[in-house]
Amino acid sequence: MIVRLEKRNTPVDVRVRAPPSKSYTHRALIAAALAEGDSMIIEPLVAEDTLLTLSALRQLGVTIEERENGILIHGTGGVLCPGGRVTIDLKNSGTSMRLLASVALLADQPVVLTGSERMCERPIGDLVSALNAIGGHVRYLGREGYPPIEVSGELIGGDVEISPEISSQFITSLLMAAPYAEDDLIISLRGQSVSASYLDITLDLMASFGISVNVDAGKTFPVACGKPFAGRRYAVEGDYSSASYFFAIAAVCGGEATVTNLKPTSPQGDRQFLSLLGDMGCTVSSLENGYRLIRDSPLRGITCDMSGMPDTVQTLAAVAPFASGTTVIRGIAHLRHKESDRITAIEQVLSGFGADVVTSGDSLSITPGELHGGIINPAHDHRTAMSGAVLGLGIGGVSIHNAECVSKSYPEFWDVLKGAGLWNGMS
């Protein structure tokens, strides 16, 4: 699918409802599957990534029923019975791969986790080492340090140290399975956590399912054994990263964007994206269940640290060429290990469209230039495609190839854009 976008010459008035959170949906599905008792997950995100987690849980022996208002999951109490050695293809869902690596230790049969070619290039070695230190027998079926992996053994517990510098999902993976260890599990972080806000999401979700973790100085996570998640009715909140594209469109084109279904007190790090747009000159106001952004004056470049909101880095990078001065984004080295090397992707797209982009290991700077249209091939990265829509509406003459890759996190994105009058459906 090819989407062609033309420049918006008049201010926008966008009013949309944010889709359910991808991060919360993954975690809620897993907590419900491991819980004692049944859970009804209300309004989960139905997208490629979350469907892969759902399918994987079914392969692990979890009984799941799709209902009109959500998904009914019959909890296993942490006893997973896949009925034999099972191979689970997680395609390009890094969240599914990492979170399920620890969960697979609870299965009574070996579990093979594999995925796409890109998935097998995304490092998982630190998590595997941690799992093997607490009772697992996890082995690589290809290149050491990368999927595919075969998971067997037990989750004994004890003390484990892990580096969070590649992904906070390694810690989330251990946390989600920890209540089912034979002994208490104490997770200590070695180094500075990237995307630390995602750990806040994990802890918030665990508390909702009855497990509270008292974090010591943000570095040690003690989880008591013997107390499982409790089944419950759980409504998934809206996704700030998916909402960011509409706020960015208003920032670039002028006008306003109102996005509802956003929890003002959410621990999602991407909520801070709105503050960055405020620093660039937009006016942001909170509503009862969302936010309104107005841009009626010129944008200005900023310097910011986005280590806690990695999923909106590409969105801000798409706004930066329309601001006066240089925008510097720091704290983003781990973006090289996403669905694509996102730092390189940003550099290639923006420089190809006329902006001046300079990258280093941990940062990039973007200075406006003579902007012009062109082609974006997102290489199956949903966020490259959606941030490309921001560029397209600001520049015009932009064609996004393989645009269907947005199905990974926001399948309705192009339909919502069309419904908001921002895309005419042409390709």
**Active-site annotation, residues:** 311
**Which amino acid, 288?**
E
SS (H, E, C) 135-157: CEEEEECCCCCCCCEEEEECCCC
Question: 326-340 burial string, b = 16+ CB within 10 Å, else e?
Answer: ebbbebbbbbebbbb
In Å, how far are 244, 246, 287, 421 from 19, measured between CA atoms? 11, 12, 17, 18
Question: 40-72 burial string, b = 16+ CB within 10 Å, else e?
Answer: bbebbbebbbbbbbbebbebbbbebeeeeebbb
Helices 169-177 and 125-133, interaxial angle, to 10°?
A: 30
Whats the size of the chain, residue-wise? 427
Edge to edge, the sheet with strand 111-114 lists: 86-89, 111-114, 149-153, 136-140
> Do residues 256 and 293 touch, judged by C-beta distance below 8 A?
yes
Tell me how far apart the alpha carbons of residues 137 and 71 are, in angstroms, rounded to a whole number: 32
Q: In this structure, what are the phi and psi dihedrals at residue 121, rounded to the nearest 5 degrees? A: -105, 0
Of 243, 224, 267, whose CA–CA distance to 27 is shortest? 267
Sign for the CA dihedral angle at 383, 389, 394, 398 comes to positive
The C-alpha angle with vertex 236 and arms to 231 and 241, in degrees rounded to 5, equals: 145
In Å, how far are 162, 273, 317, 326, 332 from 338, measured between CA atoms? 19, 19, 16, 25, 11
Q: How is residue 256 written in tokens?
A: 């306003």
> Do residues 43 and 236 touch, judged by C-beta distance below 8 A?
yes
Tell me how far apart the alpha carbons of residues 342 and 308 are, in angstroms, rounded to a whole number: 16
Q: Which helix (H) or strand (E) holds 261?
A: none
